[in-house]
């Protein structure tokens, strides 16, 4: 499983995945700045627009449904869904309760996929690993949801916390596994190549999810500005 992953993903993808959140969101930010200049928005108006759009998408039913759909797809097309990536992304983009609920649903689909599609045995060892992975998933979602308010008010704050949540979430998730690994000896290996492969997978999926959310955000911000463009200070009203 993991050797296949290592063969398919080169070292360059690590660097690309590490920066995909910050670079892609900064590109979106530059597009936003171009639009903002045209609409004569002040920095305060831009922050307010970002915050209101973030809250609107966060409250939408489509965001958790989209995350759940992507998580289900990952559970089908990969040996294991990148649970840390989905938990971290859910924590960054959703309120804590919704984030934990989405992360747990993806974890449940991943377990069902393993049992139903890949024929994993339903035995004590499998259940133990499933509970460990579930605990790590919940911990990552809760950690990511505790980010600073700046992530809801600006592109730069959002991009920074997204990257920190993805990397920190992966480390936290792997820590839960490392803690029980000496107790559960079942033939799995945890070498540096395995950890690197898992990190690439988590960052690639997490970066793609963050990019999709960023494009959705910018689309709504642009749409709102085109409907009701802001007036510059001192500009007379109608």
Domain boundaries, the chain: 43-222
Number of Cβ within 10 Å of residue 75's Cβ equals 24
Mean pLDDT along residues 38-59 = 82
Identify the top-confidence range among 3-7, 23-27, 83-87.
Answer: 83-87
Q: 14 exposed, middle or buried (CB, 10 Å; 0-12, 13-18, 19+)? A: middle
For the cut 70, the answer to whether the pLDDT of residue 21 exceeds it is no
Distance CA 69, CA 108 (A): 13
Between 39 and 9, residue with greater pLDDT: 39
Best CA proximity match to 83, nearest among 193, 179, 209: 209
Backbone angles phi, psi at 217, to 5 degrees: -60, -50
Q: What is the pLDDT of residues 98-126, one digit of tens each?
A: 999 999 999 999 999 888 777 777 788 78
Entry pTM? 0.77
Q: What is the CA radius of gyration of the chain?
A: 20
């Amino acid at each position: 499983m993991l050797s296949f992953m290592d063969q398919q993903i080169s070292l360059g993808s690590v660097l690309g995945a590490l920066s995909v959140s910050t670079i892609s969101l900064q590109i979106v930010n530059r597009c936003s700045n171009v639009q903002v200049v045209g609409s004569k928005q002040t920095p305060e108006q831009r922050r307010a627009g970002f915050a209101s759009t973030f809250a609107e998408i966060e409250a939408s039913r489509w965001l958790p449904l989209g995350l759940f759909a992507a998580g289900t797809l990952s559970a089908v097309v990969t040996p294991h869904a990148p649970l840390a990536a989905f938990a971290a992304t859910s924590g960054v983009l959703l309120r804590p309760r919704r984030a934990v609920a989405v992360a747990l649903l993806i974890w449940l689909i991943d377990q069902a996929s393993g049992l139903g599609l890949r024929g994993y045995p339903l035995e004590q060892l499998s259940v133990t690993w499933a509970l460990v992975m579930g605990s790590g998933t919940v911990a990552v979602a809760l950690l990511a949801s505790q980010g600073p308010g700046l992530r809801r008010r600006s592109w730069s704050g959002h991009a920074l916390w997204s990257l920190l949540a993805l990397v920190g979430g992966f480390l936290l998730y792997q820590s839960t596994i490392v803690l029980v690994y000496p107790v559960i000896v079942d033939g799995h290996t945890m070498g540096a190549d395995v950890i690197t492969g898992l990190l690439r997978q988590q960052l690639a999926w997490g970066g793609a999810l963050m990019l999709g959310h960023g494009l959705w955000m910018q689309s709504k911000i642009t749409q709102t500005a085109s409907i009701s463009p802001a007036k510059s200070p001192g500009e007379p009203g109608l």
